[in-house]
A = this chain, B = another copy of it.
């Protein structure tokens, strides 16, 4: 008997009801949510989740960066299968991104707790639901902050000192919430995360469960274009060193680069800030964040080379100087194949179609898989709409994903996968 058969239909109905309740936190008139990290709706939602986890017998703890854990101790002293995602959102976002993964994790652990109580399982590892702090990075940079601190790739002090646009630090924002703990969270042996796909691969191939095999390679640049302030009406055109003209040329060049490698290269500038940004002043400075992403490392390297040619062209054409910092760079980065195989077995056991996909976007599991064997699952998202209030996933896919996640966590918790590493922050 699988978790899916055991829990359905009343357990699925309860999950969907909880999902609707949860989606009211920070709900926007257009059907999305606005729950940036440590804002009031994010805080209120975390209190709601804490209550839900406690009601179902989990012990709730917070680590030093505000990651929220619900612990189910089954084997005293054993490490944990850490399962979850994030509940914070972009300023205007869909209801599913991250939040689905946290609630599915909670319900998966609830179901396994019931199996435990019924004597229907053989616990080897403990289970932890996690709601990572500030995955989105829209209020505080960098993104995936909570999991980055947990896995040791980002110093705690750096995270706590990060400021939002109003000058408020993470430490200041979290202090009054009670979400700043004094520990390092549970020790992880495995990780699992489920998320809505942020693309159309599953939908177009009529596949219910995406088995994430790897992340796309990416290079991210923080770019500052330096020009010189001048009167935007009076100054002779030939004398102008217009930082916005230079920045705009780079935005257009990045887009044209993607068009040269259709389907293989994604490029974007999501953020552009102009100074002094006054109606009658030629901008002296423009700051932008540029991403280049590909599943083909050779294409990415070639795109980067071509982009550098464009930078040189723009510097000459707009009489500006371009300062670049390579802020992030990673190659195509696989998830553990044994985790993919385990998830495929779970989907097959439940009679659900599955297939391997890659993830273009980063997830907290991207950090976790560097430390412990990690399973990442996707469910379809209608038309691949993402970071948009119109994001939508069918209820049937939500509950199918929950069923597979439950079975994956059950297997991981039963020791079906050999642990290849453990997370031991601060336990030298």
Looking at the assembled complex, report how far the CB atom of A187 sits from the nearest CB atom of chain B, in whole angstroms: 30
Cα distance, A267 to B233, chains bound together (Å): 7
A345 within 8 A of B: no
Bound Cα distance A2, B344 (Å):
97
In chain A between 330 and 381, which residues have their CB closer than 8 angstroms to a CB of chain B?
A: 359-362
* Number of chain copies forming the complex: 2
Q: Mark A257-297, 1 if CB is under 8 A from B, else 0.
A: 01100110111111111101111111100000101010000
A403 within 8 A of B: no
Query: Which of A58-66, A176-184, A383-391 is the contact stretch?
Result: A383-391
Asked if residues B270 and A282 are in contact (CB atoms below 8 Å), the reply is yes
Q: Which of B143, B229, B258 contacts A237 (CB 8 A)?
A: B258
Q: Return chain B residues, CB-CB under 8 Å to A231.
A: 198, 360-361, 386-387
Is A255 interfacial (CB-CB < 8 Å)?
yes
Is the pair A143, B387 in contact by a Cβ cutoff of 8 Å? no
Asked if A136 CB lies within 8 Å of chain B CBs, one says: yes
Q: Are A271 and B278 closer than 8 Å at their CB atoms?
A: yes
Judging by beta carbons under 8 Å apart, are A233 and B218 in contact? Answer: yes
A270 is contacted by which of B91, B263, B283 (Cβ under 8 Å)? B283
B residues less than 8 Å from A259 (CB atoms): 237
Residues of B within 8 A of A272 (CB): 244, 272, 274, 277
Q: B234 contacts A384, CB within 8 Å? A: yes
A92 CB–B CB distance under 8 Å: yes
Would you call A387 and B232 a contact (CB within 8 A)? yes
B278/A90 in contact, CB under 8 A:
yes
Name which residue of chain B comes closest to A259, CB basis: B237
Contacts of A386 in B (CB 8 A): 230-231, 234-235
A252/B252 contact (C-beta < 8 A), A198-B231, A278-B91 known:
yes
A90-B276, A361-B280 given; A268·B232 CB < 8 A: yes
Cα–Cα distance between A251 and B269 once the two chains are bound (Å): 15
A230 partner residues in chain B, CB cutoff 8 A? 385-388
Across the two chains, which residue of chain B brings its CB closest to A264?
B237
Between A232, A271, A273, the greatest number of chain B beta carbons within 10 A of the residue's beta carbon is seen for A232
Residues of the B chain whose Cβ atoms lie less than 8 Å from the Cβ of A361: 231, 233-234, 280
Q: Quick check: B276 and A92 within 8 Å, CB to CB?
A: yes
Contact between chains at B245 and A251 (CB < 8 Å): yes
Q: Which residues of B contact A237 (CB under 8 A)?
A: 258-259, 262-263, 265-267
Q: Return the chain B residue nearest A34 by Cβ.
A: B276
Contact B137 A279 (CB under 8 A): yes
- Please tell me if the beta carbons of B266 and A228 are within 8 angstroms of each other in the complex: no
A136 engages B244 (CB within 8 Å)? no
Interface assignment of A162: CB less than 8 Å from any CB of chain B: no
* In the bound complex, CA of A216 to CA of B255 (Å): 36
Chain B residues, Cβ within 8 Å of A388? 228-230
Interface residues of A in 55-95 (CB under 8 A from B): 90-92
- Are the C-beta atoms of A199 and B235 separated by less than 8 Å? yes
Known A236-B384, A259-B237, A280-B387; contact A242-B268, beta-carbon cutoff 8 A: yes
Q: Contact: B247 with A360, CB < 8 Å?
A: no
State which of B233, B271, B291 has its C-beta within 8 Å of the C-beta of A233.
B291
Task: Judge whether A279 and B141 touch: CB under 8 Å.
Answer: yes
A279 to B244, CA, bound (A): 18
* Chain B residues in 8 Å Cβ range of A234: 198-199, 266, 359-361, 384, 386
Chain B residues whose CB sits within 8 angstroms of the CB of A239 once the complex forms: 200, 383-384
Sample of 17 A–B contacts (CB below 8 Å): A91-B276, A198-B233, A200-B236, A230-B385, A230-B388, A232-B270, A233-B268, A233-B361, A234-B359, A235-B384, A236-B384, A237-B266, A239-B383, A244-B251, A244-B270, A245-B251, A271-B279
**What are the 5 tightest A-B residue pairs by CB atom distance, in nearest-first order?**
A198-B234, A232-B268, A248-B248, A231-B386, A248-B251
